[in-house]
Amino acid sequence: MSSMQSIIDGSGKFPKPKDQSFQYGTAGFRMKASLLDSVVYRVALLASLRSRKLNGQTIGVMITASHNPPEDNGVKLVDPMGEMLEASWETYATTLANAASDEALGEAYETLSKDLNIDLSSPARAVFARDTRASGPHLVTALLEGFNAAGVKHTDYELLTTPQLHYVTRCVNTKGTPFDYGEPTEQGYYEKTAKAFKAALGGKKVNGSLTVDCANGVGGPKLHELVKYLAPASDGGIDLRIVNDDVVRPERLNHQCGADFVKTGQRAPPASHAAPLERCCSLDGDADRLIYYFIDKESGFHLLDGDRIATLAALFVGDLARNAGLGEKLKVGVVQTAYANGGSTSYITQDLKLPVTCTNTGVKHLHHAATKFDVGVYFEANGHGTVVFSELALKRINKYDPKSPAQASALDTLKALTQLINQTVGDALSDFLLVEVILAHKAWGLHEWDLTYSDLPNRLVRVEVPDRNIFKAVDAERKLENPPGAQAQIDALVGKYRSGRSFARASGTEDAVRVYAEAATRGEADELATLVGRLVIDVASQ
């Protein structure tokens, strides 16, 4: 049987739902899991093309819907260095996913291979993993069918966090090269992370305990594993209180917990039972986002979101580079999106005196922009982000000969950070260890961190409309180009509020429009968000 016939036959087992169109969005395909069979099968075919195009390098496939509700699922591809799929390939993903019949899929696959000059008889390889959603194992059967039909050699990593799968993908592809990223195993990830955490602490003590809300997702069991590799608090490690780590009842995933719940609702997950001043953080469903918070008896809930993590990391890395004697040689820059609080952007540009780039939402955009700096710090306000060191920066850090014990100590910490921070994508586990390292070095609690600058009160709302695709945003998603006239109406509303700013954009992961608003007071920010939300509903129904 020709391989094209196997592709058509395999597709027959996972037919495309009629009248359903698919799009590779902010983080791959994402929707109700019951609609995803054909998409996952076809993603396996895309992995075959991508791997073959890249001379048989290994492609990662992650089955997850991250922060979305339990009945959703999703799938995305990871490029060989652990980065998100190159943007130009997203249209090929969409083409395959929308081929109307099994035969049309076979043709689309063949046409793509010809157009892209791909030899279908050359080797193809993939690694894959999934989160804890109930629909995961079934979707894996579709993926395997696709791999087998297209002749892709594959390794099943079973349950992993999304960043762990990104890590493994890079490790597999760099093994035995000068860019060796580590052991391509889950254990290798824990060993590398734990070792770097210890080195980055450099004898400093983590003060007090940290409550980690795992969103009842895959981060729970994986954090329990990681803990086995970290020293206990009594021995220079960290005292963790792990909550919302129930993966036995999948319906509890992201329910009243997790980073998205905390960021959007601006309140602690009820099940965390966070006591006043307790240091708390939340991961999301696949552990690639991180949000910190604490409750103060007098002033209430305090959120330390992705903007705060970015500013803390930029401040610390900048100081370390200067103290190590590399201040002139390592240019630190920060990448944000339109959701970044205006207070954070002013702090970075005016106090830290660092450049800021603003990109579209989606880690792929931020990551790309961050690689333009020697040290690029990128975080979305929702807690998704990391710090990337360029090849040149790594060379400078690793080759530098310190001129004093103080320089040597700063340099050691900097070196350890290059190992601790996941270089492939935002990683909530390594990010919280990074935050803990910085707080330990500075002898800060969350209160001191919170005092570095003031956030403008803000509100993020989710608005459901009949067709979100009519909302077309431009200028790093800060302005609406379509529907015509909508932006002028938003501007008119914004003009009525002190320090007002607001924008609306279609979500790439949910069937909704997101509205962000900030203003001088909490009441004004809430009011502005409500008014812009109403406006979005009005223009969508015209």
Binding site residue list: 66, 284, 286, 288, 380-382, 505-509, 514
Which residue number, 323 or 509, has a Cβ lying nearer to ligand G16? 509
Distance, CA of 542 to CA of 538 (rounded, Å)? 7
Residue 514 lies near ligand G16 (rule: CB under 6 A): yes
How crowded is residue 375: how many other Cβ atoms within 10 Å of its Cβ? 28
- The secondary structure of 101-124, three-state, reads CHHHHHHHHHHHHHHCCCCCCCCC
Residues in the annotated binding site for Mg(2+): 66, 284, 286, 288
The interface with ligand G16 within residues 270-299 (CB under 6 A) comprises 284, 288-289
Residue 510 lies near ligand G16 (rule: CB under 6 A): yes
Which residue number, 208 or 508, has a Cβ lying nearer to ligand G16? 508
DSSP 373: S
Length of the chain: 542
Instruction: Say if CB 212 and CB 431 are below 8 A apart.
Output: no
How crowded is residue 223: how many other Cβ atoms within 10 Å of its Cβ? 21
Kind and range of the H or E run holding 518: strand 513-518
| Binding segment toward ligand G16, per CB under 6 A, in 211-219, 351-359, 404-412, 502-510 | 502-510
Residue 27 lies near ligand G16 (rule: CB under 6 A): yes
Residue with tokens 């592809």: 173
Distance, CA of 63 to CA of 363 (rounded, Å)? 17
Which residue number, 167 or 197, has a Cβ lying nearer to ligand G16? 167
Which residue number, 71 or 107, has a Cβ lying nearer to ligand G16? 71
The interface with ligand G16 within residues 50-79 (CB under 6 A) comprises 66-67
How crowded is residue 464: how many other Cβ atoms within 10 Å of its Cβ? 12
Which residue from 224, 260, 78, 215 is spatially nearest to 157, judged by alpha carbons?
78
Q: Encoding tokens for residue 277?
A: 């001043």
Question: Total residues at the site for ligand G16 (CB under 6 A)?
Answer: 18
In the set 11, 66, 272, 282, the catalytic residue is 66
- Which amino acid is it at 395? K
239-243 and 209-213 beta bridge pairing: parallel
Residue 42 lies near ligand G16 (rule: CB under 6 A): no
Which residue number, 90 or 284, has a Cβ lying nearer to ligand G16? 284
The interface with ligand G16 within residues 235-274 (CB under 6 A) comprises none
Distance, CA of 373 to CA of 227 (rounded, Å)? 33
Contact flags string 81-110 toward ligand G16, x per CB under 6 A: ------------------------------
The interface with ligand G16 within residues 380-419 (CB under 6 A) comprises 380, 382, 384
Contact flags string 347-386 toward ligand G16, x per CB under 6 A: --------------xxx----------------x-x-x--
Q: Encoding tokens for residue 329?
A: 């040689």
Is 135 designated active site? no
> Which residues are catalytically annotated?
66
Residue ranges that bind ligand G16, judged by CB under 6 A: 26-27, 66-67, 284, 288-289, 361-363, 380, 382, 384, 507-510, 514
